[in-house]
Amino acid sequence: MGPDVFPVEPWRVRETRLDLDLIDESESLFALSNGHIGLRGNLDEGEPHGLPGTYLGSFFETRPLPYAEAGYGYPEEGQSIVDVTNGKIIRLYVDDEPLDVRYGELLAHERVLDLRAGSLARRLRWRSPAGGLVEVESTRLVSFTHRSVAAIEYVVTAVDAPLRITVQSELVANEDLPDQSDDPRSAAPLSGVLEGLHHEHGDGTALLVHRTRRSGLMMAAGMAHELELPSGRALETDSAADWARTTVTCELQPGQRLRLVKYLAYGWSSVRSRPALRDQVHAALTSARHTGWAGLVADQRGYLDDFWDGADVEVEGDPDLQQAVRFGMFHVVQASARAQRRAIAAKGLTGPGYDGHAFWDTEMFVLPVLTYTLPHAAADALRWRASTLDLARDRARQLDLAGATFPWRTIRGQECSAYWPAGTAGFHVNADIAAAFERYRLVTGDDTLERECGLEVLVETARLWASLGHHDRHGTWHIDGVTGPDEYTAVVNDNLFTNVMAAHNLESAAAACERHPEAARGLGVTTEETAAWRDAAAAVHIPYDDELGVHEQCEGFTRLREWDFTGNTDYPLLLHEPYVRLYPAQVIKQADLVLAMQVRGHLFTPEQKARNVDYYERRTVRDSSLSACSQAVMCARVGHLDLAHSYAYEAAMVDLRNLHGNTKDGLHMASLAGTWTALVQGFGGLHDDEGVLAIDPVLPGPIGRLTFRLRWREFRLTVTVTHEQVTFTVRDGPDGTLTIRHAGEDIEVGTGAPTVVDLAPRRPLSPGIPDQPPDCCPDPRTQTATGP
């Protein structure tokens, strides 16, 4: 997947020709979503396809989880995202020959994902096997402003001869899905899960209602059409349990065109009745038709204009990164904008990878971006977590723990991880969630979310840690038998990341109880309890190797066997090496200690950071897409700017260049968000772990200027960084000034004139550039490789 097919452009992702070998990947890249409806970028005519995909946020089927050797507390039921009724399909017949790009002659084919318009446009020119030449232009959008609505404009033009044209616009449920691979990161196959409950059709309209067989969730999909024909009108609609079809037939003279606008509406519920759902979809269709295609298009652009105005990142000197950071943010917005108290999945709604589950990625990688750029979406995602608190309490009780234990992977809120060492043992997800609540409060300055639900989450997660950890006979507080972010070293004692995040969780909870004493009392919190939390946090063990002068990822980590990189470098290692070999070796899947330094940086001296980066760089293979962005941030912070740039590029290209080989299963939301993180937290130096807005920028050579926008409290701030200076522009906000900690010193900036600060030259904090394991060196990015 190179720039020959996907050229680098600042505001678009354009596919210049149709390469069927890349069809799976392009379906993910070109997926449209608003967080509620997700449409993979399948061709209008339905096939060829890599994987058909139409998803509704958190609409899942359950399945029994099998265990050859079961154990107490193993989840018995999994949840998998369902490929719901496909409304994207518009089939075209040219003189009775079906448009299929595998037959006839495809003279031109271009698709454009427009990051400002929020739409996917396609333009093709095709000669049928019998010689009929047509041009087809289609534009597809999933509306940010009409949550239940997607729409497609489909235009067929006869080019050089009269043609008989037939168009079938369809709804199809229970599509056949191709078999998935054995890769544990892809989805469990689920097909035929929808039971048809109701179908109806009218004049160019149709509606299907289905229910999942096991989970019992009901969904409805409806379509309506607007038609422009040179003359006449031959429209026919029919429906059955699993399909509905509107057929249009006409004759087009050369230059004449048929234009069809297809409105799609979706709804689902676990509690509402069949008529209620049916009517809800009907209402959405009516509203969409009333707004009209042009209105939907305008609304879509308006929504995104507003977003970009407050969130855009401009990168001068690296057009690839420029494109990628916008592509990433666009998909993050797509995954979250209208998710509205549903989980933001690791793949958003772009594919079935990881069964459509949400992980800690959401709170740790996606929400930081949203908190600074689209805070209402962050709040909604946190409200979803809070809504699962009772399930998390049940799980904690099952595990003989106090408080609440949020699931490692889930759609609805129940633990769905069938492998506890890399699931249940990943307790840090609880601290990650707590930190996301705390960050939201800190960045937005808004404590309504904390009052509404955040306090309770903080308290229950603090209780979890208090029951999970313990003091040793010398009074040091430990958390044992847990798995940190790095899944190649699992079930360890005193994972540093987990320990510092747990301590932060405990401190945040104690402080929140202090802020809301009455509510805290209502939760049964006593001052003894908060004192115990603070004491544990203060006594937390921070593993450190005195001899080597580096922190340990976990107790004893630096004493473990070194990985034999002479012989075992088939990446990802997890597909070629057993856990029993990976776990006790100093080989690291993804940033773990490095992530701890990113998010809790003030706990480390600059020299410690530099030594730690050096040590862990040599042992990190980046078999996870959650790693490069953190390595970018920390390499930037310790002054390895070229390396940081390379990592930023790698994070940015995970999907645009399919670096992990599984973009076909859906996009990597965390890494897409991570491009922003690499640029804004890395080169922009943004961090908030000291409770203040801190910005400490530095640019790598090729990037001449970096501009980013963010929200802090009621302010909107633009930060422009060059090699020489940083300019803070407060665009709007309340009267008074905003304090920014720049390079360790607090400065006051106001809504008046921009504040310009000169940058001191930055030198690497350690001699030499860290090495990576063999074949793990990121592609060097010392100069920009592509672009205009």
Interface residues with its own copies (CB under 8 A)? 65-73, 78, 182, 184, 188, 398-401, 417-421, 423-425, 470, 472-473, 478, 480-482, 490-491, 493, 547, 555-556, 559-562, 568, 574-581, 583-585
Tokens 């670096």 sit on residue = 659
Sign of CA dihedral 66, 572, 329, 434: positive
Q: Report, in Å, the least distance between residue 576 CB and its own copies.
A: 6
Minimum Å distance from CB 179 to its own copies?
A: 15
Q: Is 714 a catalytic residue?
A: no
Tell me the longest C-alpha to C-alpha distance in the chain.
90
Give the Cα-Cα-Cα angle 389, 390, 395 (nearest 5 degrees). Answer: 95
**Angle, helices 669-676/628-637, rounded to nearest 10 degrees:** 20
Closest contact distance (angstroms) between CB of 30 and its own copies is 30
Nearer to its own copies, 490 or 597 (CB): 490
Closer residue to its own copies, CB minimum distance, 287 or 398 = 398
Nearer to its own copies, 117 or 490 (CB): 490
Enumerate residues 6+ apart whose C-beta is below 8 A from 57. Answer: 35, 36, 37, 38, 339, 342, 343, 349
Residue 545 CB, nearest distance to its own copies (Å)? 10
Q: Which of 336, 166, 151, 170 is CA-nearest to residue 248?
A: 166
Beta carbons within 8 Å of 642's beta carbon, 6+ residues apart: 700, 701, 769, 780, 781, 782
Return the number of the residue (176 or 182) whose C-beta is nearest its own copies. Answer: 182
The residue among 165, 187, 168 whose CA lies nearest residue 178 is 187
Smallest Cα–Cα separation from 103: which of 80, 123, 85, 126?
A: 126
Comparison of 196 and 481: residue with beta carbon closer to its own copies: 481
Q: How far is the CB of 185 from its own copies (least distance, A)?
A: 10
Would you say 248 and 235 are in contact if contact means Cβ atoms under 8 Å apart?
A: yes
The one catalytic residue in 27, 175, 450, 487 is: 487
In the complex, minimum distance from the CB of residue 328 to its own copies, in angstroms, rounded to a whole number: 28
Nearer to its own copies, 584 or 787 (CB): 584
For the bound state, the minimum distance from the C-beta of residue 468 to its own copies, rounded and expressed in Å, comes to 9
Nearer CB in complex with its own copies: 352/601: 352
Q: Which two tokens stand for residue 486?
A: 């790095």
Q: Least separation, in Å, of the C-beta of 451 and its own copies?
A: 33
**Dihedral (CA of 551, 553, 558, 563) sign:** negative
Q: How far is the CB of 122 from its own copies (least distance, A)?
A: 38
Q: Which is nearer to its own copies, 557 or 647 (CB)?
A: 557
Query: 624 is written with which tokens?
Result: 């996870």
Q: Give me the least distance between CB of 575 and its own copies, in Å please.
A: 6
Q: How far is the CB of 189 from its own copies (least distance, A)?
A: 13
Provide the token pair at 631.
Answer: 């390595």
Q: Do β-strands 738-742 and 755-758 pair in parallel, antiparallel, or remain unpaired?
A: unpaired
β-pairing verdict for 163-172 and 90-94: antiparallel
3 state SS of 94? strand
**Distances in Å between the alpha carbon of 282 and those of 14, 149, 223?**
34, 11, 9
Pick between residue 47 and residue 555 the one whose CB is nearest to its own copies: 555
Q: What is the C-alpha separation between 523 and 534, in angstroms, rounded?
A: 18
Helix/strand/coil for 506:
helix
CB of 395 to its own copies, least distance (A): 10
Residue in 360, 371, 364, 402 with CA at minimum distance from that of residue 509: 402
Distance CA 198, CA 191 (A): 19
Contact 740, 714 (CB under 8 A): no
The rounded distance, in Å, linking the Cα atoms of 345 and 95 is 43
Residue 193's DSSP bridge partners are none
Q: 184 or 275, CB closer to its own copies? A: 184
Cβ proximity to its own copies: between 73 and 254 the closer is 73
* Helix or strand run (H / E) with residue 261: strand 257-269
Q: In sequence order, what are the residues at sequence separation of 6 or more whose Cβ sits closer than 8 angstroms to the Cβ of residue 398?
A: 73
CA distance 456 to 449: 11
Q: Please, what is the minimum distance in Å from the beta carbon of residue 762 to its own copies? A: 33
Residue (480 or 642) nearer to its own copies, CB: 480
Choice between 322 and 424, CB closer to its own copies = 424
Burial class (CB in 10 A: 0-12, 13-18, 19+), 602: exposed
User: Residue 15: CB partners within 8 Å, gap ≥ 6?
Assistant: 5, 6, 26, 30, 109, 110, 111, 112
Alpha helices per DSSP H over 341-427: 361, 367-373, 375-387, 389-398
The side-by-side arrangement of strands in the sheet containing 90-94 is: 97-98, 90-94, 163-172, 243-252, 235-240
Beta strand 105-114 with 119-127: parallel, antiparallel or unpaired? antiparallel
Q: Which residues carry out catalysis?
A: 487
